[in-house]
Chain A
Amino acid sequence: MADIQSKQEASSSTTFVSNSIFVCKRISYLLVFASARSQKFQCNVRILDYGSVKPIHTLMGLAIGSYHGPTDLSFSSAQKLCLHLISSAYQRCRLSEQICRLAVILTRSSSSHPSLKISISDTGIGSCLEEFQDLRFSSTDVADNWDGVLSLKTTGIGDTEIHNFQINLKGSGSSRITRLTPNTKNGAKFSGSEVCMYSFVSLDLLLADIHTFLQKNVAIQLVAEDCDVPESRYEKVFLTNECKKLPMSASNLELLKSGIEDYVLKHGNNLSNKCNSCFPSWEQRKVGSGEACCTDNRLHIELVMEAAIVISNISMQNTTCFREYGNKTEVLYFKDFSPCTISQSSVKALQSIDWKTYGLNLGGIVEQDDVTLLEWENFPTDTHIDIVLHSYHKQYPTTIPAPRKMSPLVRNLVKKAVKLSLDDLKANHPQAFLSSRAVEIRSYAPDLAKTIAGLILSSSDLDFQGECFSLLGLQSQEVGTEIVENCIEERIVSVIEMNDKKSYNSQEPAPFLFEEDPVEELEFQENDSSPLDF
Chain B
Amino acid sequence: MEGKRTRFQSESQPQSVILLTKIKEFTRALLADLTNGRSPLILIDRFRSYCTLSNSNCFCASDLPCGKELLTLRRKSHAHRLAVMLRVMLIVQKLLQENKHSSKRDIYYTYPSVFLDQSVVDQAINDICILMQCSRHNLNVVSAGNGLIMGWIRFSEGERIFDCISSPNTAHPVPVHVEEVQDIISLAQYILVVEKESVFQRLANDQFCNANHCIVITGRGYPDIPTRRFLRLLVENLCLPAYCLVDCDPYGFDILTTYRFGSMQMAYDTKHLRVPEIQWLGAFPSDSERYFVPNQCLLPLTAEDKRKVEAMLLRCYLEREVPQWRLELQLILQRGVKFEIEALSVHALSFLSESYIPSKIEGKLIM
Name A440's contact: one of B28, B76, B93 (CB within 8 Å): B76
Contact present for B265 and A519 (CB under 8 Å): no
Compute how far the CA of A161 lies from the CA of B143 in the bound complex, rounded to whole angstroms. Answer: 103
Q: Is A322 an interface residue (CB 8 A)?
A: no
Contact present for B67 and A514 (CB under 8 Å): yes
26 contacts between A and B (CB under 8 A): A437-B76, A440-B76, A447-B87, A448-B83, A448-B86, A451-B86, A451-B89, A458-B94, A459-B97, A461-B20, A467-B28, A468-B31, A473-B35, A491-B37, A495-B33, A495-B34, A496-B73, A498-B37, A509-B72, A510-B70, A512-B68, A518-B69, A522-B48, A522-B265, A528-B311, A534-B224
Q: Is B308 an interface residue (CB 8 A)?
A: yes
Q: Is B184 an interface residue (CB 8 A)?
A: no
Q: Is B187 an interface residue (CB 8 A)?
A: no
**0/1 interface trace, chain B 300-340, chain A, CB 8 Å (1 if under):** 00000000100100000000000000000000000000000
* Also in contact, A452 and B30, with CB within 8 A (given A495-B40, A508-B74, A513-B67): yes
Compute how far the CA of A32 lies from the CA of B355 in the bound complex, rounded to whole angstroms. Answer: 120
> What is the count of residue pairs linking A and B with beta-carbon distances less than 8 angstroms?
148
Compute how far the CA of A468 lies from the CA of B25 in the bound complex, rounded to whole angstroms. Answer: 11
Q: Is A472 an interface residue (CB 8 A)?
A: yes
Q: Is A128 an interface residue (CB 8 A)?
A: no
Distance in angstroms from B56 CB to nearest chain A CB is: 12
Q: In A146-197, which residues have CB < 8 Å from any B CB?
A: none
Contact present for B222 and A529 (CB under 8 Å): yes
Q: Is B51 an interface residue (CB 8 A)?
A: yes
Q: Is A479 an interface residue (CB 8 A)?
A: no
Contact present for A518 and B143 (CB under 8 Å): no
Distance in angstroms from A498 CB to nearest chain B CB is: 7
Distance in angstroms from A305 CB to nearest chain B CB is: 33
Distance in angstroms from B163 CB to nearest chain A CB is: 27
Compute how far the CA of A498 lies from the CA of B73 in the bound complex, rounded to whole angstroms. Answer: 10
Q: Is B79 an interface residue (CB 8 A)?
A: yes
Number of A residues contacting the other chain (C-beta, 8 Å)? 51
Contacts of B27 in A (CB 8 A): 452, 455-456, 459, 464, 468
Q: Is B80 an interface residue (CB 8 A)?
A: yes
Q: Is B281 an interface residue (CB 8 A)?
A: no
Distance in angstroms from A456 CB to nearest chain B CB is: 6
Distance in angstroms from B55 CB to nearest chain A CB is: 16
Contacts of A516 in B (CB 8 A): 66-67
Q: Is A521 an interface residue (CB 8 A)?
A: yes
Q: Is B18 an interface residue (CB 8 A)?
A: no
- Known A498-B39, A499-B73, A530-B222; 7 more pairs at CB < 8 Å: A447-B83, A456-B27, A471-B32, A491-B35, A492-B73, A514-B67, A524-B311
Among B74, B75, B93, B264, which residue has the most Cβ atoms of chain A within 10 A?
A: B74
Compute how far the CA of A521 lies from the CA of B311 in the bound complex, rounded to whole angstroms. Answer: 12
Contacts of A524 in B (CB 8 A): 311
Name B69's contact: one of A508, A512, A521 (CB within 8 Å): A512
Q: Is B354 an interface residue (CB 8 A)?
A: no
* Also in contact, A451 and B51, with CB within 8 A (given A503-B74, A508-B74): no
Distance in angstroms from A105 CB to nearest chain B CB is: 62
Contact present for B263 and A532 (CB under 8 Å): yes
Q: Is B197 an interface residue (CB 8 A)?
A: no
Q: Is B206 an interface residue (CB 8 A)?
A: no
Contacts of B38 in A (CB 8 A): 495
Compute how far the CA of A514 lies from the CA of B39 in the bound complex, rounded to whole angstroms. Answer: 21
Compute how far the CA of A461 lies from the CA of B24 in the bound complex, rounded to whole angstroms. Answer: 9
Distance in angstroms from A525 CB to nearest chain B CB is: 4
Q: Is A444 an interface residue (CB 8 A)?
A: yes
Distance in angstroms from B259 CB to nearest chain A CB is: 14
Beta-carbon nearest neighbor of B26 in chain A = A455
Contact present for A495 and B225 (CB under 8 Å): no
Compute how far the CA of A456 lies from the CA of B89 in the bound complex, rounded to whole angstroms. Answer: 12
Contacts of A529 in B (CB 8 A): 222, 251, 254
Q: Is A488 an interface residue (CB 8 A)?
A: yes
Q: Is A408 an interface residue (CB 8 A)?
A: no
* Also in contact, A513 and B68, with CB within 8 A (given A447-B114, A452-B31): yes
Q: Is B104 an interface residue (CB 8 A)?
A: yes
Q: Is B238 an interface residue (CB 8 A)?
A: no
Q: In A481-534, which residues have CB < 8 Å from any B CB?
A: 488, 491-492, 494-496, 498-499, 503, 508-514, 516, 518-519, 521-522, 524-526, 528-532, 534
Compute how far the CA of A441 lies from the CA of B74 in the bound complex, rounded to whole angstroms. Answer: 7
Contacts of A460 in B (CB 8 A): 97
Contacts of B148 in A (CB 8 A): none
Compute how far the CA of A513 lies from the CA of B79 in the bound complex, rounded to whole angstroms. Answer: 19
Beta-carbon nearest neighbor of A491 in chain B = B34
Q: Is A363 an interface residue (CB 8 A)?
A: no
Contact present for A455 and B89 (CB under 8 Å): yes
Q: Is B46 an interface residue (CB 8 A)?
A: yes
